Chains A and B, each alone.
Chain A
Amino acid sequence: MRVLLVDDEIELVSTLAERLTLRGFQVDWFAAPLDALAAVRDNPYDVAVLDVKIPKMGGLELKKEMERLQPKLRFIFMTGHGSLEDFEAGVDEAGAGFYLVKPVNIEVLTEKIRQLSAEEGNHP
């Protein structure tokens, strides 16, 4: 199960990647959105976990770009609480999505990734 992690906080994203790896996921992590896009272009992923606020390109915009490249890719968003409302408004425009509030609970995150990839697996 391949998971893509994008967050500008390297300490956070690298540690999270390691913890997910320990839980049996194949994880690639990026701090820069363009690198992440490049990776999506070359490799198939099941789930992408994105920070809402990424420098240079917002999480939602990144999601659109990635969806264009891999329409079957599923998304999970991480957010600071303060921007939740703005995010919800954005999500309504951009369609369905799932979000977690930082600091995230790893068990909730793994459960969600498994759930989404299973849905993806059921997809034709």
Chain B
Amino acid sequence: MQLMSIFKPKFWDYEDVAAGPFKHLFNFRRIWKQTVFLTLAVTLSPLIFMAAIDYRVSREAIDTDIQLRTARLVSNTRRSVTFFLEERKSALSYVTHDNLLEDIMSHERLADILEHLKHSFGGFTDLGAIDERGIQKAYAGPYQLEGVDYSQEQWYREVLERGSFVSDVFLGVRQTPHFVIAIRCHCPTGLPYVLRATIDTDKFNDLFAGLDVAGHGDVFIINRRGILQTASHTYGAVLDPVPLPVPPFSERSEVIDTADLDLNPTVIGYAYIEDTPFILMICKNKRELMLPWKATQLEILMFLTVSVVAILLVILWGASFLVSRIHDADQKRVATLHQVEYSNKMASIGRLAAGVAHEINNPLAVINEKAGLIKDLFLLKESYAADEKLLGLLDSIIKSVERCGAITRRLLGFARHMGGPPSIQRIEIKDVIHEVLGLLGKEASYRAIEVSVDVPDNLPGIESDLGKIQQVLINLLNNAFAAVSDGGHITVKVRKLDEYLAVAVVDDGCGIPEADRKRIFEPFFSTKTTRGGTGLGLSITYGLIKDLGGEVQVESELGQGTTFTVTLPLVRKPEKGSDNACSVGG
């Protein structure tokens, strides 16, 4: 709340009560809101729109890039794997063509060939030759497998049918992962036989180790049932099932966006390797791949945030500043309006008072003459002339008429200066004070308020506008009367200060709180609103004093009293901007 009150502009809670219903021109809060929202809309929306578009476009671009890179890597790796397998098949095929059937079916020769193959290609573990009945006739390798019957095996039938066969990876007796490549050959008699070799999967691992895969990439092979054929960093060891769905068959390299078990976004590239049960898989952590892009986006976002905050601050400040200016101007307008209304009112009151005084003056003169005539007649007749009671009554009538006459004269004197055009004349301040106190004297005596006047005798007269000085004194004295309680004291003091006269109205009333002291001369500031105050008295007094080229100061102590001091120049200075002042109203 405290913070809010610092930033809250003056106009926020302003209600133009004083102007009255339907007289206010501006709803400042609405103007402010409209300005802020409109400028925010036109400045921020393009910025945010551009940022959003950039986000989308760059994201799509990076997605495409990742897919393309992955697809290319899958393609290349598949080519390597296919080549590796084809190379070994070709080697076996070469062996069948380069050797006589008898040689192949002999253990010694086969052992030689195995040695050559190991030496030239690597990866070969054993080699076996199986005749047309499915019996392994010769075997070179770590085991004793000669004479084993493969005729009922699925793979044997498959190789006879299709010409070549690549098996799933299996552990075997030595607990090392390997797989089988078998090819069908025909002996000179036309009967088929099969050359079978076991390949170590270490070669695959060597092949994959050389790959540089971004985004913590993982390259491995699975079979069509989803069993790992090579070890994977992420999904486990050889022959573990992969916790990913087996991708659908495709002849080409494919890339799919998916999520792993921990729901991390993952890019999977895969390719089915022809004539084998193998599926090459490359998995990349998409989050890792997106990191550079995310860093850029973060920078853009930070820039966007800073821009938005800066724009917001500038717009808020600008709107508040401009609306405050309108508010100030409007305050001046309303105050001027009220000044004009006030002087019109004063002029009306003046005319009314003058009319009343005139109307009363004529019958008063008649009463005066009639009473005078009666007195004259009484004085002529001896019987009445001695009657002191009758003469006393007549004297009392005549005195009362004189008093009424004095009142009407005073009223007319005031009325003439109220709201009329400014008339500069030489004024004895003492006379003015006594005249004004004469008007307020009755209230003072009713409320037992002691009013004292402290004016030195040797004061010079001042050149000023009598009507305005009267109004200033009436307003200040009225305020003092309102502030003091019955039986209080009010003093009017006058002192000469160089070129000025200082007139002080001192009361011992309730005083003005510190917080209000700065605002008492503002239009419409009133603590007497519930008691019929308009909040204009002091503001108009202030205006009148300024018109006279004077100054006003206030000193007050709560509960002790208040002193208003008006300093008036002895000689009136030429008025500034009087042309404008005169053109208002009409």
Contact = CB atoms under 8 A, between A and B. Distances in A.
Please determine whether chains A and B interact with each other in the same assembly.
yes
Interface of A: 9, 11-12, 15-16, 18-19, 22-23, 80-82, 85, 101-104, 106
B370 interface: yes
Nearest to B413: A81
Interface in B326-380: 354, 357-358, 361-362, 364-370, 372-373, 376-377, 380
Q: Which 7 A-B pairs have the closest CB atoms?
A: A103-B368, A15-B369, A103-B365, A82-B412, A102-B365, A81-B409, A11-B366
A82 B415 contact: yes
Interface in B370-409: 370, 372-373, 376-377, 380, 401-402, 405, 408-409
Nearest to B359: A80
Contacts of A81: 357, 361, 408-409, 412-413
B416 interface: yes
Given A81-B408, A101-B409, A9 B416 contact: no
Contacts of A19: 369, 372-373, 376
Given A22-B380, A81-B408, A82-B354, A103 B373 contact: no
B408 A9 contact: no
Contacts of B354: 82
Contacts of A101: 405, 409
A33 to B, nearest CB: 17
A11 B362 CA distance: 10
Residue from A18, A102, A103 having most chain B Cβ neighbours under 10 A: A103
Given A15-B370, A19-B372, A103-B402, 12 more contacts: A9-B362, A9-B365, A12-B362, A23-B376, A80-B361, A82-B415, A82-B416, A85-B416, A102-B365, A103-B367, A103-B401, A104-B368
Contacts of B368: 103-104
Main secondary structure of the interface of B (DSSP, over half): helix
A4 B581 CA distance: 50
Residue from A9, A11, A102 having most chain B Cβ neighbours under 10 A: A102
Contacts of A85: 416
A15 B412 contact: no
B370 A103 contact: no
Contacts of B402: 103
Contacts of B367: 103
Nearest to A84: B412
A90 B304 CA distance: 83
Contacts of A12: 362, 365-366, 369
Contact of A82 (B357, B372, B373): B357
Nearest to B367: A103
A82 B370 contact: no
A89 to B, nearest CB: 13
A60 to B, nearest CB: 18
Given A11-B366, A80-B358, A81-B412, A103 B405 contact: yes
B82 to A, nearest CB: 125
A22 B366 CA distance: 17
A102 B364 CA distance: 8
B146 to A, nearest CB: 153
A15 B373 contact: yes
A102 B409 CA distance: 9
Residue from B367, B370, B372, B405 having most chain A Cβ neighbours under 10 A: B372
A22 B412 contact: no
A16 B368 CA distance: 10
A49 B237 CA distance: 140
Interface string B540-566: 000000000000000000000000000
A103 B357 contact: no
Contacts of B405: 101-103
A72 to B, nearest CB: 28
Nearest to B401: A103
Nearest to A9: B362
A21 to B, nearest CB: 10
B299 to A, nearest CB: 84
A64 B372 CA distance: 31
Nearest to B404: A103
A16 B370 CA distance: 8
Contacts of B366: 9, 11-12, 15
A11 B416 CA distance: 28
A23 B370 CA distance: 15
A58 B354 CA distance: 19
A12 B369 CA distance: 6
Contact of B361 (A11, A16, A103): A103
Contacts of B364: 102-103
Nearest to B355: A82
A115 B366 CA distance: 25
Interface string B399-431: 001100100110011011000000000000000
24 contacts: A9-B366, A11-B366, A11-B370, A12-B369, A15-B373, A18-B373, A19-B369, A19-B373, A22-B376, A22-B377, A80-B412, A81-B357, A81-B408, A81-B412, A82-B358, A85-B416, A101-B405, A102-B362, A102-B405, A103-B361, A103-B364, A103-B365, A103-B402, A104-B368
Contacts of A11: 366, 369-370
Nearest to B423: A85
A83 to B, nearest CB: 9
B355 to A, nearest CB: 9
